Structure formats: C-alpha cells, structure tokens
Amino acid sequence: MKMTFRWYGPEDPVSLDYIRQIPKMTGVVSAIYSVPVGEVWPSDKIKELKAMVEAKGLELEVIESVPVHEDIKLGRGNYKIYIENYKENIRRLAAEGIKCICYNFMPVFDWTRSRLDQPLPDGSNTLVYYKEDVDKMDPARLALPGWDSSYSTDEMKELIGAYKVLGEEGLWKNLECFIHEIMPVAVECDVNMGIHPDDPPWSIFGIPRIITNEENLDRFLALYDDKHHGLSLCSGSLGCSAFNDIPRLIHKYGTMGRIHFAHVRNVKILEDGSFEESAHDSSCGSLDVVEMLKAYYEVGFQGYLRPDHGRMIWGETGKPGYGLYDRALGACYMNGIWETLEKLHGK
Ligand SMILES: [Mn+2]
C-alpha cells in the first residue's frame, strides 16, 4: 500500500510543503486543471507538475482525474474526437511515469451534496447529503463547487433531458464503447485505469447512474478482460448505500487484482438514507475502517490509497472536503492500522 494525498496543484491552499510533513506520505495525486474537459493535456504542463511534486520529495504516479467529456457519455457531438484525445492523454501521462488514472462516468453532476459546511456538535463542519434538501433542488439552476459551472440554465436543461432519454442502458452502451476504445492504449502503456463509483450511488434528479453496487461493478469489470481495467474503490461513495458491504467488496475485487486506487473515508448514514461525512475513525461513522484496511492487507494490496474527504477542523478554511488537518489525521490513523496489521502478521 502506498499512502497518497490529493493535491489540487499550486492553487491548492494545502501546500506540498505541508503534505510532505505527514508521516509516511509517499506522493500526491493531482491533475492538470487549466485545460478544458476533453482537450489534450500539453506534455510540458504534465512535466512541470511532476517536477513540482518531485522537488518536494514526493511522487506523482496517480492522476485524479482525467475527466470524461459529456459528449463521450452521451455518445453524441464530438465524442470520437474526445475519445482520441483521451487516448492521447493516457499516452502522454504514461510517458511521464504515471501508473494509474482515476476517472468517473457520472453524468453532469460529479459528487452531490446538499450542504458543504454543515456544523457538527464538536464545532467542526462537514459535507452532508440530506435527502429532503436535495429533493427540493432545481438541478438546472444549481451550482456547487467542484461542478462544471460553465453551462447556462438552458444548456443544463438540455443536457439533463438528453441523459433522461439516454437512460441507464444507453449510458452502459456508451461506457462500453469508451472502454473498448481506451483500454488497448492503457494496456499498451501499462497504465491502470480505475473508475470511481458514483457519489452517491443512486440516481439523482432522474439522471441515470450506473457505477453504484456490486452487480454493476461486476458488469463493468466484465466489459474488458484485462487487469489494467479496474476500480478506484471509494468507500465513502459506495458506502453511503447500506447495501454495499465495503470490506467484502475490497476482498472480492482486491483478490481479482482489480483495485488500483483506494479512497478511504467514513460516512454516517442517517435513518432516512441521508448521510454526513464523518471523521475517518470507525467510531465516528457507519463504516468500519479497520475492517476495510484488514481486507486490503489480506489481499496483499499494492496499489495507492488516500484519505478521501475530511471535515474542516481547528478553524481551517478552504476547499470543502479537502482541508489539511482532518485528512492528515485520517492518513495517520490508517498508517497506524496498517503498521499494526503488519506487526501482527509478521509483514
Ligand atoms: Mn472518492
């Protein structure tokens, strides 16, 4: 297991100087944020990013994410050009030593929350998904940080309508087409592709979502018979549906060698199916982080792992979910569990 940390580049209020001070941190996962979705990333920008990270004694082996253009997901417009661009990005990233690429196939909205700074009883704040509040939202007029805000209300309405017409099976078809196009390139470049599950793992605003549960993960992996075709298994995304037994899924897909990147975080599932993102410790949420790491340990996980979102604590402000302190606590907690497992089992 290699412990890593997400870093949003030089604009990130959390600096590499701080990240390198977290014990046992091997590297960061990052991306080129200045290039519009679907375009080819200039090689000099990739080189520059890598040099910045390595100058601080950290590795850059994982890219999160190379986003997939909506035209690819909808199978319309310039999707063929965007798929070719995607292949070129895989080649260029591989040439700079990237070993793993995280991506997702969520239509329009990436992760969805009803509030990004919900106060908790201990004075910290966190991202929450309260069903009642999400049901009241108008997706065409909605903007949350991290979402593509470049659409006008009319464009957003059209886009949402197109996905409703496409439906789940249409989305599967376009995902299959994308996978069959890009995977031979990834295999040739020896780059592991890890799809990130949908967050949360259910349909929102009537838009299809398909990377949501075990049955669909099985169907996804069956699309291409090669180990490079795998998962970025995110415990917090899959885990906010109580039907997903995360340690069991880690065992299953880890044994198959299909988990390339692990996102570990905890969520507290509320009675009505809403959830709050909690501290990493098992005692703070509904998921058992020790059982998850035990599963990774038992399958001999060699991939990358990172603490996923954290709360905002100790007065920190910044990008919701991506402050320094709570994620650093999460990394230390997980490193402690891992070291204990190694000592108990003699490595
Ligand atoms: Mn995640």
Residue-by-residue pLDDT tens, the chain, 347 positions: 999 999 999 999 999 999 999 999 999 999 999 999 999 999 999 999 999 999 999 999 999 999 999 999 999 999 999 999 999 999 999 999 999 999 999 998 888 888 899 999 999 999 999 988 888 888 777 666 556 566 778 888 888 999 999 999 999 999 999 999 999 999 999 999 999 999 899 888 889 999 999 999 999 999 999 999 999 999 999 999 888 999 999 999 999 999 999 999 999 999 999 999 999 999 999 999 999 999 999 999 999 999 999 999 999 999 999 999 999 999 999 999 999 999 999 76
Query: What is the Å distance from ligand 1's center to 346 Cα?
Result: 31
Query: What is the Å distance from ligand 1's center to 322 Cα?
Result: 11
Sign of CA dihedral 318, 7, 104, 311: negative
Rounded-to-integer distance, Cα 156 and Cα 165, Å: 14
Domain count across the chain:
1
Query: What is the Å distance from ligand 1's center to 96 Cα?
Result: 24
Domain that holds residue 222: 2-344
Q: Residue 63's domain is classified under what CATH number?
A: 3.20.20.150
Q: Residue 162: what are its φ and ψ, rounded to 5°? A: -65, -40
Q: Are 194 and 179 contacting, i.e. CB atoms less than 8 angstroms apart?
A: no
Q: Which of 32, 111, 37 is nearest to 70 (CA)?
A: 37
CA distances from 160 to 69, 165, 207, 244, 308 (A): 14, 9, 7, 27, 28
Quote the pLDDT of residue 145.
52
Cis, bond preceding 65 (omega within 30 deg of 0): yes
Q: Are 210 and 172 contacting, i.e. CB atoms less than 8 angstroms apart?
A: yes
Quote the pLDDT of residue 238.
94
Query: What is the Å distance from ligand 1's center to 236 Cα?
Result: 6
Where b means 16+ CB within 10 Å and e means fewer, 182-220 reads: bbebbbebebbbbbbbbbbbeebbebbbbbbbeebbeeb
| Catalytic residue ranges | 196, 234, 263, 308-309, 322
Quote the pLDDT of residue 53.
98
Sheet holding 266-269, edge to edge: 115-119, 125-129, 275-278, 266-269
Longest dimension (CA), the chain: 60
Burial of residue 271 (CB within 10 Å: 0-12, 13-18, 19+) is exposed
Sign of CA dihedral 130, 131, 134, 135: negative
Q: Which of 1, 3, 51 is nearest to 23 (CA)?
A: 3
Give first-to-last CA distance, the chain, whole Å. 12
Q: Which of 334, 283, 341, 251 is nearest to 23 (CA)?
A: 334
Query: What is the Å distance from ligand 1's center to 171 Cα?
Result: 21
Cβ contacts of 283 within 8 Å, gap of 6 or more: none
Instruction: Write out the residues surrounding ion ligand 1, Cβ under 5 A.
Output: 234, 263, 308
Quote the pLDDT of residue 346.
79
Strands 115-119 and 266-269, by their bridges, are unpaired
Phi-psi region of 238 (alpha: psi -120 to 50; beta: other; left: phi over 0): alpha
Quote the pLDDT of residue 146.
53
